Amino acid sequence: MTENNGTRDAGRPLGVAVLGMGTVGTEVVRVLRDHAEDLRSRVGAPLVLRGVAVRDLAKDRGLPAELLTTDAEALVARDDVDLVVEVMGGIDPARALIGAALSGGKSVVTANKALLADYTGELAAAAERSRADLYFEAAVAGAIPVVRPLIQSLSGDRVNRVVGIVNGTTNFILSAMDETGAAYDDVLAEATDLGYAEADPTADVEGFDAAAKAAILASLAFHTRVTAADVYREGISKITAEDLETASAVGCTVKLLAICERVAAGPGEPTSAEGGKDRVSVRVYPALIPRKHPLASVNGAFNAVVVEADNAGRLMFYGQGAGGAPTASAVLGDLVMAARNKFYGGRAPGESVYAELPIAPIGDTPTRYHVNLQVEDRPGVLAAVADTFAQHGVSISTVRQQGHGEGARLVVVTHHAVESSLADTVAALADMDSVTSVTSVLRLEGTEES
């Protein structure tokens, strides 16, 4: 590690290896080459691109051939590489490459949410042993600074809640469905054509991508290791045009939310006031939110994250959550900071998991629900339905009957209820003679109940 005596222009060059040259890697390489002078001034020493690991050497990338290699392992191991940028994605071989870099004392900047959601513990430990840095601002919400504010800016506060729209593909789809009334499949096809959705959209539309980001956000917010397996997850593929229409009728829209929440200790457990521990609820699902909620107006491929903390109150961060240039901006910010640490002898904050809060199961997590029922149009149905909710301990906020005859519908909005009670209620409703079908069950978030 270079210790510097304060004269910045004496810095020896710091070598950078870039792993992967997709949209993000291409932008990172471009900035490293086109803005070398600015980066040098900001780091204190020149950043020199030593090489880029790619899968296919034949493709023309406008780079000198000697900078390209298919041997990522050898590139990471080079003595003249001080900093490794991993933008290849996927678990393998990224996991081993980052591990090798960190073990060799090289600092790593990564945008790899899937890897971090499962292996931050392992990677952070490797970084700790060799006193290298692991930075990952780009892993959540692209260019929007969220990771650094949670780790650093809010390190003197107590975070209670993080709610975000952190997946651009699903937000594009839901925004379009809301605006046009189109069906899910049609909008997904359009998103694929426009390049907003991948050929296999599963990771996005089923919420896996958002769940990985939720795990990362929750880990940071609550100083507790949270992995993707701890995140309750539902995707948007079952959302219908009718769901959006019903949402609209009650002044809401539907968003795929990543929610990280500090909740009370479980039943029978000591509360935090009694020396026990709060729990952490982390979940990803589509939910109704009121149109007046700050997240409701986040449309298209944009992302936004709302953070609520004891002293800071409610903060919101908004911007482009994906794409080559925005993600590269986050990567390069991290790279400059990691390089400065190499140069001045500092360290990024390591993993902070001291709080070790337990994960609250989804069945214990109270949310409000919006239940749509197709019912027979005869007297007493509303009362019978209300009674079924009451029998399962689910308190109703509003019931609204829509239509008549065969098309009669009841829209029920509940107060906060735990998922297990709601599930029991829905099962009982489905068994009722007067209920033709339970058309949809959606959570309702972002309302203040009195």
Residues designated catalytic = 213
How many angstroms separate the first and last alpha carbons of the chain? 56
Q: Does 380 bind a second copy (CB under 8 A)?
A: no
Residue 238 marked ligand-binding: no
Q: Does 64 bind a second copy (CB under 8 A)?
A: no
Q: Which of 50, 95, 279, 340 binds a second copy (CB under 8 A)?
A: 340
Residue whose CB is less far from a second copy, 80 or 310: 310
Q: Does 31 bind a second copy (CB under 8 A)?
A: yes
Q: Does 33 bind a second copy (CB under 8 A)?
A: no
Stretch that binds a second copy, among 33-41, 63-71, 171-179, 185-193 (CB under 8 A): 33-41
Residue 403 marked ligand-binding: no
Q: Does 218 bind a second copy (CB under 8 A)?
A: no
Least Cβ distance, residue 130 to a second copy (angstroms): 10
DSSP notation for 354-392:
TT-PPBPPGGG-EEEEEEEEEE--STTHHHHHHHHHHHT
Q: Does 345 bind a second copy (CB under 8 A)?
A: yes
CB 91 within 8 A of CB 114: yes
Residue 15 marked ligand-binding: no
Type of residue numbered 70: T
Residue 234 marked ligand-binding: no
The interface with a second copy within residues 221-250 (CB under 8 A) comprises 223
Q: Which of 317, 376, 418, 436 binds a second copy (CB under 8 A)?
A: 317
Q: Which of 16, 116, 218, 328 binds a second copy (CB under 8 A)?
A: 328
Q: Give the Cα separation of 285 and 211 in Å (integer).
A: 9
Q: Give the Cα separation of 205 and 23 in Å (integer).
A: 21
Q: Does 38 bind a second copy (CB under 8 A)?
A: yes
DSSP notation for 49-113:
EEEEE-S-TTS--SS-GGGEES-HHHHHH-TT--EEEE-S-SSTTHHHHHHHHHHTT-EEEE--H
| β-strands 279-290, 396-402 pairing | unpaired
3-class secondary-structure state, position 44: coil
Q: Does 41 bind a second copy (CB under 8 A)?
A: yes
* Closest by CA position to 141, among listed 373, 316, 1, 368: 316
- Residue for token digits 């993000």? 24
Q: Can you give the three-state secondary structure of 165-226, one letter per residue?
A: ECCHHHHHHHHHHHHHCCCHHHHHHHHHHHCCCCCCCHHHHCCHHHHHHHHHHHHHHHCCCC
Least Cβ distance, residue 303 to a second copy (angstroms): 10
Residue whose CB is less far from a second copy, 315 or 399: 315
Tokens of residue 281, six digits: 């609820």
Residue 419 marked ligand-binding: no
Residue whose CB is less far from a second copy, 44 or 235: 44
Binding positions for NADP(+) are 19-26
Please enumerate, by residue number, every residue annotated as part of a binding site: 19-26, 113, 198
Q: Binding site for L-homoserine: residue ranges?
A: 198
- Which chain residues interact with a second copy by CB under 8 A? 6, 27, 31, 35, 38-39, 41-42, 128, 131, 137, 143-145, 148-149, 152-158, 223, 294, 309-320, 325-326, 328-337, 340-341, 344-347, 349, 352, 354-355
